[in-house]
Amino acid sequence: MEKITQKAKNNNLAIYAGSFDPITYGHIDIIRRALKLFDRLIIAVGENPNKKPLFSMQERTSMIQEATIGLNVSVESFSGLLVEFARKHGCNKLIRSLRAVSDFDFEFQMAIMNRELDGSIETVFLMTDKEFFYLSSGLAKDVARKQGKLEKLVPPNVEKKLKAKFNFRNK
């Protein structure tokens, strides 16, 4: 009975996982749109052993918390399998974003693997708004590295952190 109660309690909860290194306006767009579908959202900041992040886990979670003030989200870090993280929170809905066809191949494989690991897991794909179709964390870091304009790419708190990381000089 407790499992049913927990599942019912989290029925309108979803998890949006990623490395968010750093969070961009594209991510924020997906978060806002996911909150139109779900009452609550956990932003799960994952460790990816295949990536060397620019920002520490603490920096990433802090930037996300600041960038999402006023939204019904919680921000948590995790390592290991996303399905285990979802089970821990009694959640069976995952949000994934798609920008291009190349994203679909990877995301589709991940969705099938997650369902293979836990048959109750459903993945909801949200298309990135056309305004952010080109945007990625990697692109934002590259622009910052080359001291380009960041205001249309990342929230102000993230812009400040990127500039500090790359010793950005005001022009």
Please determine, for residue 126, whether its predicted confidence score (pLDDT) is greater than 80. yes
Find all residues with CB under 8 Å of 115, minimum gap 6, and list them. 121, 122, 123
9 a catalytic residue = no
27 a catalytic residue = yes
Domains, the chain, with CATH or none: 2-131 (3.40.50.620)
137 a catalytic residue = yes
pLDDT, position 10: 58
Q: How far apart, in whole angstroms, are the C-alpha atoms of residue 83 and residue 107? A: 15
pLDDT, position 4: 37
pLDDT interval class at 11 (50, 70, 90): low
Q: How far apart, in whole angstroms, are the C-alpha atoms of residue 158 and residue 88? A: 29
The catalytically annotated residue of 9, 51, 88, 152 is 51
Contact 65, 45 (CB under 8 A): no
The catalytically annotated residue of 27, 93, 141, 161 is 27
Q: What is the mean pLDDT of residues 6-26?
A: 84
89 a catalytic residue = no
The catalytically annotated residue of 60, 93, 96, 137 is 137
Alpha-carbon Rg of the chain, whole angstroms? Answer: 16
Contact 15, 89 (CB under 8 A): yes
Please determine, for residue 7, whether its predicted confidence score (pLDDT) is greater than 70. no
Q: How far apart, in whole angstroms, are the C-alpha atoms of residue 41 and residue 56? A: 22
The catalytically annotated residue of 40, 99, 115, 160 is 99
pTM of the model: 0.90
The two three-digit tokens of residue 25, written as one number:
């306006």
Find all residues with CB under 8 Å of 60, minimum gap 6, and list them. 19, 20, 21, 22, 23, 45, 53, 77
